[in-house]
C-alpha cells in the first residue's frame, strides 16, 4: 500500500533521512521505533508532503506521491496524526472532529463514521461540547486520533501518541490502537519511542537510527534481536 524506496530528506543544509526504504501492506500495523532525533517525525512529514525528499520514491496504492501536493494527500486516504496532538484548543471536541472530516470520503461517511468514532473512543462522546483545550493530555490524544479517523482514511499515521502521557494513560492509548485496528482493519503506521509497547501492538517494525533503517522484521524477530533488547528494551 505504501512503499518508500531510497528516500533521502532533510531541512535546508541538514540531511536527516538517508536512503530509507520501507513497505507497508494493506491492513498491516507497522511500528517505526528509534531514539530521539532519528528522523521519525521527518519520515512522516516526508510521506505527508510537508518535507520534500531530495532523492528516492514514495508510492501510495501505486500512485507516485511526489507528484501530489501535500494538501491533496489526505484525499487519497492518508491521515497524519501529528506529534504533540495539535488539536484546535478553542473549538469543541465535536468541531475538531468535523474539521477532520474535510476529505471527500470523510464528508460522505460522516454520519456512520462519527458513530464509530464515539463507540471506539467514548470519552469523545461524553465530552463532545467541551473545548478541546480543556481536555486532559490523554483525552486530547484520543481526539487527535478521532480527528484522523474522521477523514475516513485508508492509512493512519500516528506520530508518538504516547508523548508526554503518564505510563498508564499511554498504555490505554496503545490498547485503543489495537482495538481500532481490530475493529476497522485500517492500515496503521506508528512512530514511537516507547519501543516495547509499540512492538507489542504492531505486526512489523523498523528501527530507525540516525536517519537510516538499521533493522526491520516482524515483532517476534525484533523483540528477540540482541541489539533491540539491549538498546531499547532494557534487557
Binding site for ligand ATP (CB under 6 A): 11, 14, 16, 34, 36-42, 83, 193
Smallest separation, CB 119 to ligand ATP (Å): 31
The CB-of-232 to ligand ATP minimum distance in angstroms stands at 13
Least distance (Å) between residue 174 CB and ligand ATP = 17
Question: What is the closest distance, in whole angstroms, from the C-beta atom of residue 37 to ligand ATP in the complex?
Answer: 4
Residue whose CB is less far from ligand ATP, 52 or 185: 52
* Cβ proximity to ligand ATP, 37 vs 89, nearer residue: 37
**Which cell numbers hold the place of 120?**
471506539
Closest CA to 160 of 73, 41, 59: 41
Nearer to ligand ATP, 19 or 126 (CB): 19
Grouping H, G, I as helix, E, B as strand and the rest as coil, residue 93 is helix
* Rounded CA separation 75/140 (Å): 24
Largest Cα span, the chain: 49
Given the complex with ligand ATP, which of 78 and 117 has the nearer CB atom? 78
Residue 136 Cβ, how far from ligand ATP at the closest point, in Å? 22
SS3 assignment for 215-231: EEEEHHHHHHCHHHHHH
How far from each other are the two terminal CA atoms of the chain, in whole angstroms?
34
- The upper half-sphere exposure of residue 142, i.e. CA atoms within 13 Å in the direction of its Cβ, equals 28
CB nearer ligand ATP, residue 42 or residue 151: 42
Distance CA 80, CA 44 (A): 8
DSSP classification of residue 34: -
With respect to ligand ATP, which residue has the nearer C-beta, 39 or 77?
A: 39
Q: What is the CA radius of gyration of the chain?
A: 17
Q: How far is the CB of 41 from ligand ATP (least distance, A)?
A: 3
Amino acid at each position: 500500500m505504501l512503499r518508500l524506496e531510497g528516500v533521502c530528506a532533510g531541512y535546508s543544509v541538514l540531511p536527516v533521512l538517508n536512503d530509507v526504504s520501507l513497505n507497508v501492506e494493506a491492513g498491516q500495523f507497522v511500528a517505526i521505533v528509534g531514539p530521539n532525533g532519528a528522523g521519525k517525525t521527518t519520515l512522516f512529514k516526508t510521506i505527508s508532503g510537508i518535507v520534500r525528499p531530495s532523492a528516492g520514491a514514495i508510492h501510495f496504492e501505486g500512485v507516485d506521491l511526489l507528484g501530489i501536493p501535500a494538501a491533496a494527500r489526505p484525499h487519497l486516504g492518508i491521515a497524519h496524526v501529528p506529534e504533540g496532538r495539535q488539536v484546535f484548543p478553542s473549538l469543541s471536541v465535536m468541531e475538531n472532529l468535523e474539521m477532520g472530516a474535510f476529505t471527500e470520503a470523510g464528508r460522505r461517511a460522516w454520519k456512520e463514521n462519527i458513530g464509530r468514532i464515539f463507540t471506539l473512543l467514548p470519552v469523545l462522546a461524553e465530552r463532545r461540547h467541551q473545548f478541546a483545550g480543556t481536555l486532559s493530555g490523554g483525552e486530547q490524544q484520543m481526539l487527535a486520533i478521532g480527528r484522523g479517523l474522521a477523514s475516513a482514511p485508508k492509512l493512519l499515521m500516528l506520530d508518538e501518541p504516547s508523548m508526554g502521557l503518564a505510563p498508564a494513560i499511554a498504555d490505554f492509548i496503545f490498547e485503543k490502537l489495537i482495538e481500532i485496528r481490530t475493529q476497522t482493519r485500517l492500515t496503521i503506521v506508528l512512530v514511537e519511542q516507547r519501543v516495547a509497547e509499540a512492538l507489542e501492538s504492531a505486526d512489523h517494525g523498523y528501527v530507525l537510527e540516525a536517519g537510516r533503517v538499521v533493522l526491520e522484521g516482524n515483532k517476534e524477530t525484533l523483540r528477540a534481536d540482541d541489539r533491540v533488547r539491549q538498546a531499547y528494551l532494557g534487557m
